[in-house]
Structure formats: structure tokens, C-alpha cells
Amino acid sequence: MVEAPIISFKNVNKIYSNGTVGLKDINLEIPQGQFLVVVGLSGAGKSTLLRTINRMHEITSGEIKIDGEPIHAYKGQALRLLRRKIGMIFQGFNLVNRSSVERNVLSGRVSYYPTWKTLCGLFTQADREMAVRSLQRVNLADKLYTRADELSGGQQQRVAIARTLMQEPKIILADEPVASLDPLTTKAVMDTLQRLNREDNITVIVNLHSVPLARQYADRIIGLQAGQLVYDRPISEVTEADLNEIYVTEAVQA
């Protein structure tokens, strides 16, 4: 059975306004429910790739389709609805430090409301309960009323995941979600992402710098080098040597 991919890249190029090549002729299909890990050296274009999927970055040429629909023409409300079904997790967590955990989590739900309701904080009881459930899923329900900056890094990242869950996303993009975390917290965060991938069938795309982590969690690994797709294998065919090569060849060239 050949399923239509949830995300597809066709001849995608991205050149930054200063002339830097971000992405070069990317062709890529990602099926629904895959746990995809993107590896590559710093500056290879991993963040750029991720951010083109929810249009945080615009591409220069080519076409990206999500659910079979080209996304480049979306504007205003249509763009916001696209972003709603794509959650994003950041290296720096990007919580509003001075706000409570509850408010941070609820802010993931704002795209389901008209603007004026979000300004008045008029969330339905059902959504407030959903916020509690989201926090339960990341094992942080007791922190509902804590201020975000009173949490540890790992806890903040899990709050960020709970915020994303409020979007009821079909896709989660995570840009080096564990880069600033210790090994134990790293495992907690990666396990959470894996659980969402398996239980909710959410397509997860994660940028990682760690080869062991990539091998442990990925269904498939792709490698970028100077904006180009240089590696693409299902996990069953990935070897340690391959991955080292992605990191080493360029280091040698440099």
C-alpha cells in the first residue's frame, strides 16, 4: 500500500537574502507517523529545513506540500491554520518566563479562538481541562500554577511540548530540543516525543547533533551537508560508519 506522504519537498531551494545557500535542491517525502531525525554539521541547513515546513522561513524556489496541498500561497488565516497543525519545539524552549505554566500551555490553543477571546483569556472549561491533561502527559500536572522561569530546563521543555499538544498537531518539528539538557532529562524529553509519535501517530521531525540519540529514536535518518540532502536511509539500514561520514567528510574538507 502506497500512502500519500504528509510532507513532500520537490526541488526546494532556499537562498537567504545575503546570498547564503540555506537549502539546495531538496527532494524528500515524509510519510504520516514517521519519526524522522535530521543530522548534519552546524550550518548544514537543519533549522532552515524545519522552518520551511511551517513557513517560518520562505523558500526561494520549488514546492512543499503538506497533506497534498502546496503551502506557499497561504496567507493570513490560512497560514495560521497551517501552523496550527504543526507544532514546534525549540532548543531554547521559548516559554514566556513571567507567565504561569498554565498560561504558557493555553497559549498553544489560541489559534482555535478569535483574537478578542484570546485577549480576554476566555478559554472554555474543556480547553482548561485539556491543558491539565497535556501537562499530565508530560508528567508535570503539579506545576500548573508555577511560573515558567521557576522550572528546570527539562521541565520547561516538557511544558513547551504540552503547549504544542494543545494545537492537536499532526506534525511536530523539534529543532535540537535536547541540546541544552543533561542525559537524564534528554531521555525524558525524547521519550515524550516518541510516545506522542507512537500513541497519537504524530509525524515527528527532530534535528539532532547526537548520533547515538538519532539511532535510538529514529525510524529514518536524513543527513544534510551545506544545504544538500546527502543521506537518507531507514533506520534498519543505517550504520555507524555512514553517520560518522556525514560528520567527518565535511570536517576533513574544511
Partner 1 sequence: MSIPEAPRRSWMQRWHVKGIVVTSLLLVLLVTSSRMTGVDVGMFFSNFGQFLNLLVRMSHPDWQYANVIVRPLLETIQMAILGTTIGAAFAVPFAVLSASNLIHNRFLRGLTRLFLDLVRTLPDLLLAAIFVAVFGIGSTAGVVTLAIFSFGMVSKLFYEVIETIDMGPLEALTSVGASKVTIIWYAVLPQILNQFVSYFLYTLEINVRASTVLGYLGAGGIGVFLQRSLSEFNYSQTAVIILATLAVVLVIDGISNHLRRVLL
Ligand X SMILES: Nc1ncnc2c1ncn2[C@@H]1O[C@H](COP(=O)(O)OP(=O)(O)OP(=O)(O)O)[C@@H](O)[C@H]1O
**Binding-site ranges for partner 1 (CB under 8 A):** 54, 56, 79-84, 86-88, 90, 92-99, 103, 107-108, 110-111, 115, 118-119, 160, 163-164, 167
Shortest CB 125 distance to partner 1, Å: 20
Kindly state whether residue 60 participates in binding ligand X, applying the rule CB under 6 A.
no
Span 15-44, contacts to ligand X by CB under 6 A:
16, 18, 20, 22, 40, 42-44
Span 17-76, contacts to Mg ion by CB under 5 A:
47
220 interacts with, out of partner 1, ligand X, Mg ion, none, CB within 5 to 8 A per kind = none
Shortest CB 254 distance to ligand X, Å: 13
DSSP the chain: --PPPSEEEEEEEEE-TTS-EEEEEEEEEE-TT-EEEEE--TTSSHHHHHHHHTTSS--SEEEEEETTEE-TT--HHHHHHHHHTEEEE-TT----TTSBHHHHHHGGGGGGS-HHHHHHT---HHHHHHHHHHHHHTT-GGGTTSBGGGS-HHHHHHHHHHHHHTT--SEEEEESTTTTS-HHHHHHHHHHHHHHHHHS--EEEEE-S-HHHHHHH-SEEEEEETTEEEEEEEGGG--HHHHHHHHHHHHHH-
Binding site for Mg ion (CB under 5 A): 47
Binding site for ligand X (CB under 6 A): 16, 18, 20, 22, 40, 42-48
